[in-house]
Structure 1
Amino acid sequence: MLTMRMVYDDQARKSGQGELLINGVGRFPVLSGRKTHINDPNCEYLADEGSIPVGRYWIVEPPQGGVYTQARRAFLDFLHNTDHSEWFGLYNSQTMDDYAYVNGVKRTGFRLHPLRPDGSGESWGCITLFKVSDFKQIRQALLRTSKVKVPSSRSGLMAYGYVDVMGKADYAKCVN
């Protein structure tokens, strides 16, 4: 099982580049969130713009979704030269799913993934690697580990490890 840590601090917020520390693997530049809310825990409650909320996330196989979702992903993969099937799901430890309620707002779809191969793309509240090569290194490290049963999971959820997203959120300081 791999353990990871991502910390929101002033440097990550100002530069737009945070750091994902993976024990035994390395440190990797990441971002989370869109527009002026990148790496800003104060705005983590903003759907589709805020960064991934502070907390623990279990790293799991991504949810497949229904026929429509799978067809949409295939189209987007073709259009943008990406491969959603390589991404990982991030399940919030409080909900044991890929959603969380933050300040009364439902945030969904947490993933661990890279930007597109050409460096374009966005993070809609996921943990997003700047470089595809970094993501591939992390992916290989995750796939080499044995999955573990997530403690307190009633469904027997199996995970490759977890990432602790750390920082202090003050929603009154979110500039929207």
Structure 2
Amino acid sequence: MRQQVAEVHDALTQLLDEWGRYALNIEAWYITKPLLRDTTGTVATTVAYERAMDALAGVAESLHEHSTQADIDHATSLADNAWTAWHAANDYALDVGLSDRSPTERAALQRLAKLVERLTHSAAGDPELVAVKRDIQGCLDKITTVSAGWSDIVDLPAIDHRVFRQLPSPS
């Protein structure tokens, strides 16, 4: 039983790691797979993945070595479902890319990816940072169907965090 509980916890950890790798990949986050962050609720694979992860996380949190076999079996099934949902959502997002977004949002996501990539090569004293910040905010204002914000950008380890002190009040 202890092994099965550990396997469920490991599945959750590995799924969270997959999401983390996705979140750190600027091209995937903004261009090749933004549907993984769709906020409209109309991308069935994304909705299924989110529900599967919520279900797994809720059950895995309460799972322990003294859980019943039925609870462990249920958690194992949820882990299997979450992996299936992740692969389906990831594959669908890659297949669709930006093609189902409006021309304005598609252009904003493409531009945003370039601007964020630009930040990864910026230094704190870069005189263009104010213009880059303004352009980033302009892109963010045009993105309405996928989750995109300053918090995603600030969390990227590839960006020198001293750069953010040079940006006037990101919102």
Point out the structure with the larger strand share.
1
The bucket for the TM-score relative to the shorter chain is under 0.3
Point out the structure with the larger helix share.
2
State the TM-score, normalizing by the size of structure 2.
0.20
State the TM-score, normalizing by the size of structure 1.
0.20
